[in-house]
Amino acid sequence: MAEPPPTTGTHDRQQAIYRAGLAGHRPRLPITHDALAARAQRRLSARAHAYIAGGAGDETTVAANRRAFDEWRLVPRMLRDIAVRDTAISLFGHRYPQPFLLAPIGALELAHRSADVGVAEAAARTGVPMIFSNQAGRSMEACTAAMRRIADHAPRWFQLYWPKSDALAASLVARAEACGCDALVVTLDTPLLGWRPRDLALGHLPFLRGQGLAQYTHDPVFRDLLAHTPADTTRPPITPRLLANVLASAYHYPGSTWQALRRGHAAAAIRQFIATYSRPDLTWTELERLREMTRLPILLKGVLSAADARAAAAAGIDGLVVSNHGGRQVDGALASLDALPAIRAAAPDLRLVLDSGVRTGADIVKALALGADAVAIGRPYAYALALGGADGVAEWIANTAADFALSMALAGATSVADIHAGAIELVPRTRS
């Protein structure tokens, strides 16, 4: 029998599972990440799983992200008063109940029909910030409305892929402000799409099927650009699969599917997305214009270099997301956790969020001890979404929060402030 989804707290999560076990109930989701991923793979289509789980090249960066955590060992300290624990953090003037955020993931409709809205509902229930993806399957307005129905001030951030149109960038940022986002995360590591063999082997990119385009198709500036969409000069041969994909793209376009087909809006939106997506010529000078667009705190996502961290600090950036895009962009890249200590030393005043490879409560403890102010987690909640929708994500959040609280306390700290003050002892694996 499946255990009902959690509705309260996180510190009592472990005991709640054991109590439910007395009545024959087991958790809805697998507890370990590997079991969670394996069950989600059975639920997801081959294309969906390839997109969510896949990495660049031989996926050595994906493996390096996990190996980096294993290279550090916690040294638990004894006889410390850990009866009262506080897992909360403060970022940019906002207090959040846990030191982890839900990282932006594109095309979440691949995982579950509720897509980003399901994740937003779970985030609102638990108070964990959700970073709205620029490549979302549901608009930021729809996600915000879902969150406000549960908790009016549920925390949310927005991820920006800087498009070729500055007017479109300004419109996306203005919408994020109107939605009450606490911060803006500018992803820098995807000026071009990485070489991703799992997707390439299936010939599958969700955006060409109209998935993951909701932020664009709901944007007034983008819709105005449709009148200037380049003509389609590379149309593939007409096959039943092509016709099915054309119909699917119309289904994902706002409003009437028939009208999107008849007027060609869905096809035009895909072509316009291809024409405007990302800026391979983006440089540090453009960041000055972004600061003019918004009063929100700005974080740069994808920084692995200490030199880039110093440049960000000099440019007046508020924070960094230390990330290699979950290993999806550059094969053989430095693991995010390996980059963290040098970036902390290079930019001591910036807020740092560690992203890529975080899976367990112990991973979060290690990242915080090595200099992160928080972490962002992606694939695990996408798997939870695939298995249980919003309830699945809420359960995964509850499990992760409990795992962190216990790991922190058993290692000898009672708060994130304690961890930052040096209460956690870490040693390299070679010394353990």
> What DSSP character marks residue 91?
E
CA-wise closest residue to 290 among 413, 381, 160:
160
- Rounded distance between C-alpha atoms, residue 73 and residue 235, angstroms: 54
- Rounded distance between C-alpha atoms, residue 30 and residue 26, angstroms: 9
Q: Which residue has the tokens 């692995």?
A: 304
- Rounded distance between C-alpha atoms, residue 59 and residue 50, angstroms: 12
- In the beta sheet, which residues pair with residue 377? 102
Q: Which residue has the tokens 């309260």?
A: 8
Q: Exposed, middle or buried: residue 432 (CB in 10 Å: 0-12, 13-18, 19+)?
A: exposed
Start-to-end C-alpha separation, the chain: 41
- Rounded distance between C-alpha atoms, residue 39 and residue 114, angstroms: 19
Around Cβ 19, how many Cβ atoms within 10 Å? 12
- Rounded distance between C-alpha atoms, residue 128 and residue 392, angstroms: 15
Sequence-separated (6 or more) residues with CB below 8 Å from residue 222: 168, 171, 216, 269, 272, 276
- Rounded distance between C-alpha atoms, residue 187 and residue 178, angstroms: 20
Beta-strand pair 130-132/156-160: parallel
Query: Could you confirm whether 325 is annotated as catalytic?
Result: yes
- Rounded distance between C-alpha atoms, residue 395 and residue 380, angstroms: 11
Q: Which residue has the tokens 């008849």?
A: 262
Phi-psi region of 4 (alpha: psi -120 to 50; beta: other; left: phi over 0): beta
| 126's tokens | 């638990």
Contact 64, 337 (CB under 8 A): no
Active-site residue identified among 112, 252, 265, 325: 325
DSSP 205-224: -GGGGTTT-HHHHT-HHHHH
Q: How many CA atoms lie within 13 Å of 27's alpha carbon, on the beta-carbon side?
A: 22
Q: What's the length of the chain?
A: 432
- Rounded distance between C-alpha atoms, residue 412 and residue 425, angstroms: 9
The set of catalytic residues is 325
